[in-house]
Structure 1
Amino acid sequence: MADTGSAGFWSYTHRDDELVEGRILRLAKKIGNAFELITGKELEVFVDSTEISWGDSWRERIDKALLNGTFLIPIVTPKFFLSQECRKEVLTFSGHAASLGLDDLLLPIYYVDVPALNEDPSADEVMAIIAKRQWVDWRHLRLEDEGSQRYRSAINEMALRLKGIVESVSPSPILTALESGSAEESSEDEPGFLDVMARAEEVMPRWSETLNEISEVTTDIGSHAQWASDAMAESDRRGRGFAGRLAVVRQMKQRLETPVIRYASLSSKYASELVAIDPAFIAVIRQVADGGLAESDLSAAREFFGVIKGLVESSRQVYPMLEEFSDSVKVPAQQSSDLRPLMKKLGSSIQQVIDGRTIIEEWGRLIDETGLIDDADGQ
């Protein structure tokens, strides 16, 4: 890839921008202009993730140009965490940036207050990633007049911060070691090829088993939902009215408590482990792609990649069920306050599994690009 300048990918929901009458997009332009004025160099700003140019540039830069100063700038609002695309962007970018020791390239702008982010973000993997970053607090600034001195000063400060990060970006010890083919010379705290392979050997079977258990619990919860549907129909047939329906809902709550708790435990461990190991996995895949492995290690890498591809396929089989399941739990939550807390817990747990699939799919894509295994190997 030819040398490119700095770039900023804005991750936000279009509805949020509509609600503030275009201020989010204007903010992106103003920060880009301020950066260019200060540095004399253009900050290429990508703002519409639905455009082909966003997707092409995103993929190219996230693979090869993070060291040039490629930022992901999430505009954090309550709707941001409800957007599947925004969540995917944070998960994918953070894994790549962390694998290079470049966490500062994920620079959130905290735009509207999100209580869970301030209180306990650990239950949501994307919130946890955002909470660990030094965000720019725009919660009060967004109410300022765009022409005010305070607003313009804040934009200047943001541009200066971007400039400082670009100037400080340099290859991490692990990246230098991987590119030279000598991972053993990296920092003592950085995992090497054998460390990651040993970790993979430990966790991969557990992840596959967890996916199977999640599928089983999903079926169990679905059977209870079907029971409730049949019981309500019978109650209506007997003319028991809304009181009869409410009684069914309360019985459904009792039936669901144990499987929902089980589901939450499985999904939380599954997602948190994936996020924790994601940077190391990406670094190893990059090492293979760059030819940084000895011939004796390639067969082990090939086997490892085959297992990951199998995990990708397993997640793809579970995912359609998850999407349908996620939609279905919203209905009973709307019908009765008795079920609402339980359904909210279940909905959050389903999201964690969906987040995990984002990470696994990215591993699969990177493995495909190495050319080390073909589709048949990954089946």
Structure 2
Amino acid sequence: MTNAQPVGFWSYTHRDDHLDGGRIVRLSERIANAFEIITGEPLEIFLDKKAIEWGDAWRMRLDSALTGTTFLIPIVTPKFLMSQECRREVITFAGHAASLGLDELLLPIHYVNVPQLTQDAEEHPADEVVELISRRQWVDWRELRLEDEDSPAYRKAVHDLARRLADIINTAPPALPIELAPLNQAEEEPPGFIEIMAEMEEALPAWYETVQQFSESIASIGEESSWAAAEFAASDARGGGFAGRMRVTEELATRLAEPVEKVDALGSKYWSELAAIDPGVIGIIRRASEEDISPEDREAARVFFKEIKELAGITATTTSQLQEFSNSIEGATQGSRRLRPQFRSIQAAVQKVIDSQTIINEWSRMADDVDLGGDDHQ
């Protein structure tokens, strides 16, 4: 793989490929072949996420100027959005591409209908990965996947997609790092490296506090659920039957209204704040890796990186607990039509925190790879 050679990372679930008779993998091969016919240059596509080469190539290209010839091509299906690994890939790549002003290098293929990407979106809880995908010009393959692979319609669609990849490479502007806007917008003079680092350092405790508030609200939801379980048992013991259970369900829905609303708001706030500054922070970490930064900037970076590592460690524990809670209420989403929307809202909010952890973990990983001439940030 040469430095200039374009590379595509084919992000999909193996189960989807199996269920579709291997057509997803074959599609990647057809696109690579069409690209080489059109351009005369090979397009290497990485498929096997279990291979060491996937992770090595992924990280190496994201951390270097090679990002400008690196595509992520997510094969979007309902199962894709259920895969935390696939979600993590989209979030990480989107942040890196945006940090260089190259959003078009994330090229989703809408393979099987995902309601949130269609006119039915308002019936489903907001999904931040779907939002990242919807901002791009995704390719609609929902009907094409039902075509014979050798049909004229299918072959033309493959050709058009390969041509689009070639056009993006040929017409994309040079990678330009995105500057992180100051958190204090009242400043008239553009902030320097140290000022930005100082503002980011001040913001870190606020994000941790948001996660703590989120956990407290989840705990209150758990208490209300325990109350309901005890009430169900008492009602059954009195012979209350389904009518008694319905009464408890209705009261539980009322008692959950406030904490569910708070959880939803906290999850959205946490994700939106982190996602908004993700490209800028990635740019800052890249800037810190340059050899020509001043001793003062180097020290500011060292302190900031240490704070990032601490935040990543603390929030990782909380996020793991939230994931367990979300899994525990999976069955409840189907148990009652009255409670279903609330439990889905809880799961969507928890997912926002889990996805936010992906952003923080990537900052921590990048910071670990920067040599600042000391080990304070390790």
Output the TM-score relative to the length of structure 1.
0.89
* 1:96-175 to 2 correspondences below 5 Å: 96-119=96-119, 120=121, 123-169=126-172, 171-174=174-177
Q: What is the Cα-based RMSD across aligned positions, in Å?
A: 2.5
Question: In the alignment, is the contact (CA less than 8 A) between 1:75 and 1:108 conserved in 2?
Answer: yes
Question: In the alignment, is the contact (CA less than 8 A) between 1:263 and 1:349 conserved in 2?
Answer: yes
Structure number with higher helix proportion: 1
Question: In the alignment, is the contact (CA less than 8 A) between 1:125 and 1:275 conserved in 2?
Answer: no
Cα distance between partner residues in 2 of 1:84 and 1:279: 21
Alpha-carbon offset, residue 373 of structure 1: 8.8
Residues 278-305 of structure 1: per-residue CA shift (max 9 Å, x gap):
0100011011112242212222222222
Correspondence for 1:334? 334
* 1:52-91 to 2 correspondences below 5 Å: 52-64=52-64, 66-67=66-67, 69-91=69-91
Question: In the alignment, is the contact (CA less than 8 A) between 1:35 and 1:160 conserved in 2?
Answer: yes
What SS does structure 2 have at the residue aligned with 1:21?
coil
Alpha-carbon offset, residue 146 of structure 1: 0.9
Cα distance between partner residues in 1 of 2:101 and 2:198: 22
Letter in 1 for 2:6: S
Correspondence for 1:324? 324
Residues 40 and 375 from structure 1, CA distance in 2 versus in 1: closer, same or farther, beyond 3 angstroms? same
Question: In the alignment, is the contact (CA less than 8 A) between 1:67 and 1:170 conserved in 2?
Answer: no
Letter in 2 for 1:145: D
Alpha-carbon offset, residue 36 of structure 1: 1.4
Alpha-carbon offset, residue 90 of structure 1: 0.2
Residues 155-180 of structure 1: per-residue CA shift (max 9 Å, x gap):
111111111222234533438x99xx
Letter in 1 for 2:283: A
Alpha-carbon offset, residue 98 of structure 1: 1.0
Cα distance between partner residues in 2 of 1:191 and 1:95: 22
Correspondence for 2:229? 229
What SS does structure 1 have at the residue aligned with 2:299?
helix
What SS does structure 1 have at the residue aligned with 2:10?
strand
Cα distance between partner residues in 2 of 1:343 and 1:142: 33
Cα distance between partner residues in 1 of 2:348 and 2:309: 26
Cα distance between partner residues in 2 of 1:319 and 1:267: 12
Alpha-carbon offset, residue 199 of structure 1: 4.6
Letter in 2 for 1:149: P
Letter in 2 for 1:128: E
Alpha-carbon offset, residue 9 of structure 1: 0.7
Cα distance between partner residues in 2 of 1:152 and 1:68: 27
Residues 232-267 of structure 1: per-residue CA shift (max 9 Å, x gap):
223333333333333222222111110010000001
Alpha-carbon offset, residue 375 of structure 1: 7.6
Q: How many residues align?
A: 366
Alpha-carbon offset, residue 49 of structure 1: 1.9
Letter in 2 for 1:267: G
Residues 66-108 of structure 1: per-residue CA shift (max 9 Å, x gap):
3451110011222222221111000000111111111111011
Residues 192 and 163 from structure 1, CA distance in 2 versus in 1: closer, same or farther, beyond 3 angstroms? farther
Cα distance between partner residues in 2 of 1:377 and 1:133: 35
Question: In the alignment, is the contact (CA less than 8 A) between 2:92 and 2:358 conserved in 1?
Answer: yes
Letter in 2 for 1:153: K
Which consecutive aligned stretches of 4+ in structure 1 deviate over 4 angstroms post-superposition?
119-122, 373-378
Question: In the alignment, is the contact (CA less than 8 A) between 1:306 and 1:373 conserved in 2?
Answer: no
Letter in 1 for 2:69: G
Residues 11-59 of structure 1: per-residue CA shift (max 9 Å, x gap):
1122222232111111111001111122222211112223332222222
Q: What percent of counterpart residues are identical? A: 50
Correspondence for 1:291? 291
What SS does structure 1 have at the residue aligned with 2:42?
coil
Correspondence for 2:282? 282
Gaps of 5+ in 2: 181-189
Letter in 2 for 1:256: L
What SS does structure 2 have at the residue aligned with 1:341?
helix
Gaps of 5+ in 1: 179-189
Residues 1:251 and 2:251 are matched in the alignment: yes
Alpha-carbon offset, residue 127 of structure 1: 1.1
Alpha-carbon offset, residue 114 of structure 1: 2.0
Question: In the alignment, is the contact (CA less than 8 A) between 1:235 and 1:241 conserved in 2?
Answer: yes
Cα distance between partner residues in 1 of 2:156 and 2:15: 27
Correspondence for 1:355? 355
Question: In the alignment, is the contact (CA less than 8 A) between 1:123 and 1:268 conserved in 2?
Answer: no
Cα distance between partner residues in 2 of 1:290 and 1:99: 16
Letter in 1 for 2:286: R
Report the more deviating stretch, 41-50 or 103-112.
41-50
Correspondence for 1:11? 11
Residues 192 and 34 from structure 1, CA distance in 2 versus in 1: closer, same or farther, beyond 3 angstroms? farther
Question: In the alignment, is the contact (CA less than 8 A) between 1:100 and 1:174 conserved in 2?
Answer: yes
* 1:301-320 to 2 correspondences below 5 Å: 301-320=301-320
